[in-house]
Amino acid sequence: MGKKIKDYIAQMLKVSNEIAQGKLKQNKSEILREMLVQISFFQQERLIHLIVTLLFAFLTIFTAACSCFSNDLYYGILYCLLCVLCLALLVPYIHHYYVLENGVQKLYEIYDTIKKCP
C-alpha cells in the first residue's frame, strides 16, 4: 500500500501541474471526484493500520510489564520473548502508518491545489 500511495501522489502531482499550466484535457471536477474516492480508500486503510498499530503497542507494553512483574523466571523469559516479538512487529507497523498518514496529508494538499486552480 505504501508504493501505491506514493505512485498515486506522483500521478496527482503531475495532474496538478498540468491543470495549473492549462494542458489537461480532462474535466477538473471529474478528477476531484475520483481523487476524493481514492483519498477515502487511503483513509480507511490508514484507520485499519492505526488500530493494528495501537493493538501491537498495547501488547508490547503489556508483555513488557508482565515480564517485569513476573515472579517466575520461566514466565518472565516467555513474556520478554513475546515483548521482543511484538516490538519487532510494531516498528514496521509504525513506519507503514507513518507513510500512510503523510501520504493522505499530501493528497489533501494536492486536492486543495487542484481545487484552487481556475
Residue pLDDT, tens place only, 24-45: 767 888 888 999 999 999 999 9
Q: What is the mean pLDDT of the chain?
A: 89
- Cα gap 68→57, rounded to integer Å: 17
Is the separation of the CB atoms in 2 and 100 below 8 Å?
yes
pTM, entire model? 0.80
Report which DSSP code applies to 54.
H
How many other CB atoms sit within 10 Å of the CB of residue 69? 9
